[in-house]
Amino acid sequence: MWMLENAFLIPLIPAISFVVILFFGKRFIGADRVHVVGITALGLVWVLSAVAAFQWTQRVENPPPDAIVQVQHHGDDHGDDHGDDHGDDHGDDHAAASGHSGDGHGDGHGGGHSSPLIRPVISTFSDWWSNAGVTFAVGTFVDGQTVLLLMVVASISLLVHIYSTEYVKGDRRYVHYYAFLSLFTAAMLFFVMAQNIIQLIVGWELVGVCSFALIGHWWEEKPNTDAALKAFLTNRVGDVGLLVGMIVLWGTFKTFDIDVINTLISTNPGAHHFALLVAACCLMAAVASKSGQFPLHTWLPDAMAGPTPVSALIHAATMVVAGVYMIARLYPVFYEGFSIGTSSINLMAFIGGFTALIGAGLAFAQWDIKKVLAYSTVSQLGYMVMALGVGAWTAAIFHLFTHAFFKACLFLGAGSVSHAAHHTFDMRKMGGLRKDMPHTYRTFVISSLALAGIFPFAGFWSKDEILLGSLVGQENGYPLMLIFGCAVALMTAAYMTRVIWYTFHGEYRGHGHPHESPKVMTVPLWILAGMAVLAGAFNLPGPVLEPIGLEGLAHRIQTYAEPSVYLNGLGLSHPDPSLNMALVGLALALSGILITYLYYWRRLGLHGLTERNRYARRGYTILENKYYLDHLYNDVVVETVKRPLAKWANRFNQNVLDRTVNTAGETARDVGRWVYKWIDQGAIDGSVNAAARGADSSGEGLRSIQSGKVQNYGQLLFGAAAVLAIVFVIVV
């Protein structure tokens, strides 16, 4: 288990790579060869992550005695012994994890609950800061969730590194680009293995600043810097929630340790409900900004201003999943705060579902291929948040896992397309690329099918689990979430078909001759496409595997990644797999594809079809009926969604939300100007100056008396003496 205890090496490697590239890259390595450093580092990271992942599975399969949580209660002994035993894992210090493990709702598939509860591996290294006599350690917290994310981040980042060697070749700031890719990866890896919430904050903000640097990579153009600023500032707004939420957690539990906080909540659910609600609401704001949830998602499409591989990295593996990851990491806080177990709707589920819906709607209205994908990311992140909101922890993380691969593939595919087609992202200038770019086309389609949730691609399995989770919920189902989820499933399939149509089918509408990208770009695409097919296999439901006798491999992510040591205490249950739900989901996705396909197909043959309709209308009643059906689908359903709804949503997005953001900024600036001018310079500084002026003018007045002429002084003297004499006479 060496790797699990020394996981700090994993973020350290890209951090060192950052320093090496930035400070020694140009001089000692050569500006055009710095990617060697980055790729080597990421390769190492990948290997170490794989080792960590393997060791974690070993820990679950053959747990060492100190890793298993004793199920009986032995009192609340947290906190006092905390912080004394740095350097080794905490073992059974906080072993009082599960008082509630017995009450299974629909208990038991693929071993989730039947396997023992495995403690995370926590290593602390040194006193990071001590304050008020309390010491906080820096350390790593490694469990299944962590190693899963390690694998995702390492894989995607490695592929992005490789892909970028071609994509940003000859860029004006090649060195900086690779330096920040490394730092970005390091920050995200640091974030996922945070041992306490301070580390979470640190990683969170570092990820944000790296994205700022990468989105603004081409800072000569103002729109790019605007986008970078917007991303950072929107995130900062959410960070207010993060800071306050974390502080509330600290105030409630008097510790920053994630393990202790989770354990305290799960062993004593129901306590501190109000504090947890406040904390959860605040943290939700942070999630909304980082993970692009309504209403703070507006930065995300603008963030497309950065280089495309960066978009892939941001949207698939790093930045935006940080919010989802944080919810999953502090799940007991949200679970108790939002009463996920007992409610049938809550803030998190609603925001997630609503975001999924509006994101999908907006994706229809975009002509920029990257923006479609960006809104798609918004929508899919909403899916994940919604899944967490309905209590489907595993489904959310599973979806995060599968989504990372196919979304990265889509973004890199879009990059490949733009690389070929004169650096444009406008779909109106594309078309017909399937002949010229066969590899890009095939990988793009595979990933789109995965995103759309078509059997047997990865997205199908994870999406199905989310829908199932919404259907069953915990104590109550989440019907509204189910409706949202189904609608989004349909829409996702539809807009992806639209993208494929415009990009790869029809006639080429751009300039020049498009060409397939070189191998260094297509190979990563194929690897990701492969994962888009296979990633679903990591959490297949049992009934699928039983016929082939592999039921032991069912629900691997649930088995390995789920922090059941905490979730069991909360009484989280897992729904039974349902064939019907799967079929409904599949049918929705297929119909989405079908509708869009028909729509565009008809438009393609619009002229001929109309001719035929006009001349042979009565004779072809069935065809005509079909046409009515088409009409219904196309002009009513799709059109309402596509035109008014999406336009409205877009307008709302641009005019209301975005304007609110802008207006807030402008107002703050104007208020600043006003306050500065009238209050600061006018009132406060004015009064200071007035005091000085008062002294000055009184002096000025008295000055006229001092004429310098002796006789004037004499006059005053004698005059005063005379007056005094008169007074003296009168008084005495």
Partner 1 sequence: MEVTGFDTWVLSLAVFLPLVGALVIMLIPKVYETELKLVALGSSLVALVVGIYIAIQFDYGAAGDLQFVVDKGWIDVINSRYIVGLDGLSLPLLLLSLVVVPLCLIYSWNHIPDPGNPKAFFVLLLILSTGMNGSFVAQDMILFFVFFEIVLLPMYFLIGVWGGEDRRYASLKFFLYTLFGSALMIISFLALFFLSKDASGELLQTFDMRVLTDAAGVGIIKSTQVWIFAGLFMGFGIKVPMFPFHTWLPDAHTQAPTVGSVILAAVLLKLGTYGFVRIAIPFLPEGAIAWAPWIGLLAVIGIIYGALGCLAQKDMKRLIAFSSVAHMGFVMLGIATLTDFGINAAVFGMIAHGLITGMLFFVAGSVKERYHTLEISRLGGLLKSAPRMGWILGFASMASLGLPGLAGFWGEFPAILSAYNPGAGLSEELFRVYMVIAAIGTVLAAGYLLWLYQRTAFGEPTEEFAGHEIADVNRDEWIAWTPFLIGIVLFGVWPNLIFNVTDDVVSGITASVEAIAAGN
Partner 2 sequence: MLLNQFLILGAVLFSVGVYGVLARRNGVMVLMSIELMLNAVNINLVVFGVQHGVVSGQVFALFVIAVAAAEVGVGLAIVLLLYRNRTSIDVEDFDLMRG
Smallest Cα–Cα separation from 277: which of 179, 348, 382? Answer: 348
For residue 24, state whether it binds partner 2 (rule: CB under 8 A): no
Q: Which stretch in 512-520, 568-576, 635-643, 710-718 sits in contact with partner 2 by CB under 8 A? A: 710-718
For residue 711, state whether it binds partner 2 (rule: CB under 8 A): yes
For residue 222, state whether it binds partner 2 (rule: CB under 8 A): no
Question: Is the distance from CB of 543 to CB of 508 less than 8 angstroms?
Answer: no
Measured from the CB atom, the residue of 656 and 688 that comes closer to partner 1 is 688
Distances, alpha carbon 45 to alpha carbons 151, 179, 291, 315, 538, in Å? 9, 16, 25, 20, 21
SS3 state of residue 131? strand
SS3 state of residue 142? strand
Query: Among 181, 201, 265, 373, which residue interacts with partner 1 (rule: CB under 8 A)?
Result: 201
For residue 673, state whether it binds partner 1 (rule: CB under 8 A): yes
Interactions with partner 1, residue window 211-230 (CB under 8 A) = 212, 216, 219-222, 225-226, 229
Q: Residue 236's binding partner, choosing from partner 2, partner 1, none, with beta-carbon cut-off 5 to 8 A by kind? A: partner 1
Query: Among 220, 708, 728, 729, which residue interacts with partner 2 (rule: CB under 8 A)?
Result: 708
**Interacting residues of 305 by C-beta distance below 8 A, sequence separation 6+:** 215, 216, 218, 223, 224, 226, 227, 228
- Distance in angstroms (rounded) separating the CA atoms of residues 21 and 25: 4
- Distance in angstroms (rounded) separating the CA atoms of residues 51 and 59: 12
Q: Residue 271's binding partner, choosing from partner 1, partner 2, none, with beta-carbon cut-off 5 to 8 A by kind? A: none
For residue 672, state whether it binds partner 1 (rule: CB under 8 A): yes
Query: Among 604, 629, 692, 716, which residue interacts with partner 1 (rule: CB under 8 A)?
Result: 692
- Distance in angstroms (rounded) separating the CA atoms of residues 157 and 149: 12
CA 693 distance to own-chain centroid: 57
Going by the DSSP 8-state scheme, the letter that residue 107 receives in this structure is -
For residue 236, state whether it binds partner 1 (rule: CB under 8 A): yes
Residue 424 tokens read as 């444009």
For residue 84, state whether it binds partner 1 (rule: CB under 8 A): no
CA 709 distance to own-chain centroid: 84
SS3 state of residue 574? coil
Query: Among 1, 68, 71, 233, which residue interacts with partner 1 (rule: CB under 8 A)?
Result: 233
- Distance in angstroms (rounded) separating the CA atoms of residues 24 and 17: 10
For residue 723, state whether it binds partner 2 (rule: CB under 8 A): no
Give the count of beta carbons closer than 10 Å to the beta carbon of residue 533.
Answer: 17
Measured from the CB atom, the residue of 632 and 717 that comes closer to partner 2 is 717
Question: Is the distance from CB of 216 to CB of 228 less than 8 angstroms?
Answer: yes
Give the count of beta carbons closer than 10 Å to the beta carbon of residue 726.
Answer: 10
Query: Among 232, 294, 405, 406, which residue interacts with partner 1 (rule: CB under 8 A)?
Result: 232
Contact string (CB under 8 A) for partner 2, positions 656-695, x = contact: ----------------------------------------
For residue 688, state whether it binds partner 1 (rule: CB under 8 A): yes
Measured from the CB atom, the residue of 664 and 724 that comes closer to partner 1 is 664
Measured from the CB atom, the residue of 248 and 351 that comes closer to partner 1 is 248
For residue 707, state whether it binds partner 2 (rule: CB under 8 A): yes
Give the nearest distance from C-beta 723 to partner 2 in angstroms: 14
Measured from the CB atom, the residue of 705 and 730 that comes closer to partner 2 is 705
Residue 141 tokens read as 């917290």
Q: Residue 709's binding partner, choosing from partner 1, partner 2, none, with beta-carbon cut-off 5 to 8 A by kind? A: partner 2
Q: Residue 703's binding partner, choosing from partner 1, partner 2, none, with beta-carbon cut-off 5 to 8 A by kind? A: partner 2
For residue 718, state whether it binds partner 2 (rule: CB under 8 A): yes
Smallest Cα–Cα separation from 231: which of 178, 297, 327? Answer: 297
Distances, alpha carbon 197 to alpha carbons 15, 50, 193, 473, 654, in Å? 21, 25, 11, 28, 35
Distances, alpha carbon 18 to alpha carbons 46, 150, 176, 228, 648, in Å? 16, 18, 9, 20, 44
Residue 237 tokens read as 């707004």
Smallest Cα–Cα separation from 485: which of 394, 396, 386? Answer: 386
Q: Residue 707's binding partner, choosing from partner 1, partner 2, none, with beta-carbon cut-off 5 to 8 A by kind? A: partner 2
Q: What are the backbone dihedrals phi and psi of residue 592, each rounded to the nearest 5 degrees, phi first?
A: -60, -45
For residue 132, state whether it binds partner 1 (rule: CB under 8 A): yes
For residue 693, state whether it binds partner 1 (rule: CB under 8 A): no
Measured from the CB atom, the residue of 515 and 673 that comes closer to partner 1 is 673
Q: Please name the residue that has the structure tokens 């944000």.
A: 208
For residue 239, state whether it binds partner 1 (rule: CB under 8 A): yes
Q: Where are the strands (E) in 20-133, listed by range? A: 121-131
Measured from the CB atom, the residue of 6 and 224 that comes closer to partner 1 is 224
Q: Which residues bind partner 1 (CB under 8 A)?
A: 127-133, 198, 201-202, 205-206, 209, 212, 216, 219-222, 225-226, 229, 232-233, 236-237, 239-240, 243-244, 247-248, 250-251, 665, 668-669, 671-673, 675-677, 680, 684-685, 688, 692
Q: Which residues bind partner 2 (CB under 8 A)?
A: 703, 705-711, 714-715, 718
